[in-house]
A and B are shown apart, each in its own frame.
Chain A
Amino acid sequence: MVTNSRPFSIKRMPGFSLLALACFFALYMPLAPLVFYSFNAGNNIALWEGLSLRWYVAAWENDLVQSAAIRSVVVAVIASVVATSLATMAALGTTRTRPYRGQTSIYAMVNQPLMVPEIVTAVALLILFALIKESTGYHGYAYLVSAHTAFCIPFAYLPIRARLEGMDRVLEAAAADLYATPWRTFTKVTLPLLLPGILAGAMLAFVISLDDVVITEFVKSAGQDTLPTYMLGQLRRTITPEINAISTVLLGVSVVMVAIIFFLSRKKT
């Protein structure tokens, strides 16, 4: 008899920590110089001339950066709210029903934006929206918002669905036993339990929308540069650490959001 029989865990495989460290290193090392040079006092992105926050100030005071950043946030907020609402309904519809024909294909359809290469979606939207723009003459933000909403849905859907599947269905059955109407069961039992999943999904959707460049570049109308497309446009000429500063702030926002998602989804009820 083996006395010390612990369940298998990948953490105890030989070389695990070393491999994990190497992976983290490869993933995050390239970001270090970017962040480092954002604090450069000099004009360029490869020659260190001392510590300074001047590029953060320059980015903050740049009207184009400001309006692009605000546009990014407005689009991301609207898109993530709409996407999360739709994703919640989709998640309920694919888990809280009796199994029905085509359930798997619905699941596949909801997640389609994860599978189709982004450039394909971008070109397809470019052509479709061009037709609509030509026939209606409307050039507003609806195109950008609906495109962002569409590709954000699976990112919101996955954490919500995971949470729904992990939830104890006995609680909902108990509420029904106690004569709660389906609506009351939903608002008093399902929704509160689901909330961390919804929040995690919404934040993920927000970050995905905020970072998008390919689809936005193709869909945007006149005057609709977001922060990432603005940054892309800067690359043809010499880039200054201002771009590093903006990137560092974007990186910071993403890290904070992902950390919040982690803590929200970790809490078991």
Chain B
Amino acid sequence: MKTIFNSILSSLVLAVSGAAMAAGELNLYNWGNYTSPELIEKFEKETGIKVTITDYDSNETALAKVRAGGHGFDLAVPSHSHLPIWVSEGLIANPRVDQMPNFKNVAEEWRNPDWDPGRQYSAPWQWGSVGVMVDTSVYNGDINTFGIILDPPEELIGKINVAPEMNDVISSALLYLGGEACSGDKELLKKARDKLVEAKPKWKSMDYGVIEKFAGRDLAASLYWNGAAFRARLKNPDVRYGYPKEGYSLWADAVVLLKDAKNVEEAKTFMNFIMAPENAGLMSAFARYANSIVGSEKYMPEDMATAPEVVVPQEFIGAGKFYPTCSPEVQKIYTAIWTELQK
């Protein structure tokens, strides 16, 4: 009750005075339900900097608000696909992440991603992949292929779900057919369309929230993300996550310093802070996605540190790639295919 009273008071005080930008504050603008409260508590305790978190629900919302300016945020966490847009539009400053003391903890393969060459702009947050989930009690053949979804084996027909994400679905089809995501090859795009239209009658649904359905064994396969596959396996031990050998896409979210940030030093302190193994471990333990920090496994729950959904097995690492947002022309074709698929 006392906390409620206090927050009423502080809301009122804020309403009257406006959020005074005192020293030792930090405004983080992040995806909802993605920031570990323990991580923030630890940061506040160690540095004395008070953190305020504000949520967004899509890259587009975040971009729109930051573009408009006057937002009052210091840090944001865009996805790799949108990060180059933030850089090219001059929305973010260059804090030289690569020269921060804790940068030494960043794993080798994360030091020079295509979407942030030299890793000067962004501190790693979390990352994952788009692959296939399969209930191996229903089908126990090779699951490391998008064929599970696009040329499904007999056992799986009618028990397949596909995540309703245009880019992930069409890009996966292109990869399956031997192309690249966002390929401008019209011939190949047409093939991808035909493949998807042909496969669709064999699917059961195009939906989010698959974890419960795998737990209840209503679904036996899905095109989905690794974090959900991991959580589904904890509920149904027969669920496995396949990394398609023909290629699969990776995504990553990363912390960037906004150009008009008021609390630049505090923001840099935070960027450095999350690259320490014990802190990155806390971060992953909450959101259940992998981070890019060497040694952070020691600080994750046991079930996670060894999970094949989180730690990509050596033989599948090579097939995963980052793809930027498609060019407007390709985006148009994607949308046309997607519309047809929705019918």
Listed in ascending order, the chain A residues whose CB lies under 8 Å from chain B are: 44-47, 63-64, 66-67, 70-71, 74, 78, 123, 126-127, 129-134, 137-142, 145, 217-218, 220-225, 229-230, 232-239
Residue of A nearest to B218 (CB): A46
Complex alpha-carbon distance, A74 and B11, angstroms = 8
Contact of B7 among A66, A142, A218 (CB under 8 A): A66
Evaluate contact between B209 and A239: CB separation under 8 angstroms.
yes
- The reply to whether A218 and B65 form a contact with Cβ atoms under 8 Å apart is yes
Distance from A241 Cβ to chain B, minimum over Cβ atoms (Å): 11
- Whole-angstrom distance between the Cβ of A236 and the nearest chain B Cβ: 6
Is B291 an interface residue when CB atoms closer than 8 A count as contact?
Answer: no
Supposing A141-B14, A222-B19 touch, asked if A232 and B57 sit within 8 A by C-beta, the answer is yes
Taking Cβ atoms with an 8 Å cutoff, the residues of B that contact A are: 3-4, 7-8, 11-12, 14-15, 17-19, 21, 27, 29, 31-34, 37, 52-57, 61, 64-65, 68-73, 209, 211-213, 215-216, 228, 231, 260, 287
One of A78, A220, A236 near B15 (C-beta < 8 A): A78
CA distance A138 to B15 in the complex (A): 11
Q: Give chain B residues whose Cβ lies under 8 Å from the Cβ of A234.
A: 32-33
Report yes or no: B53 in contact with A223, Cβ–Cβ below 8 A. Answer: yes
Contacts of A47 in B (CB 8 A): 212, 215-216
Kindly list the 6 A-B residue pairs having the minimum CB-CB distance in the complex, ordered from nearest. Answer: A233-B32, A133-B70, A140-B18, A233-B55, A223-B52, A130-B68
Label chain A's interface by main secondary structure. Answer: helix
A138 to B14, CA, bound (A): 11
Contact B216 A46, beta carbon cutoff 8 Å: yes
Give chain A residues whose Cβ lies under 8 Å from the Cβ of B7: 66-67, 70
Q: Taking CB as reference atom, which chain B residue is nearest A233? A: B32
Distance to closest chain A CB from B303 (angstroms): 15
20 A-B residue pairs with CB within 8 Å: A45-B209, A47-B212, A67-B7, A126-B65, A127-B68, A131-B70, A134-B70, A138-B18, A140-B14, A145-B15, A220-B54, A221-B19, A223-B54, A230-B32, A232-B57, A233-B33, A236-B32, A236-B34, A238-B209, A238-B231
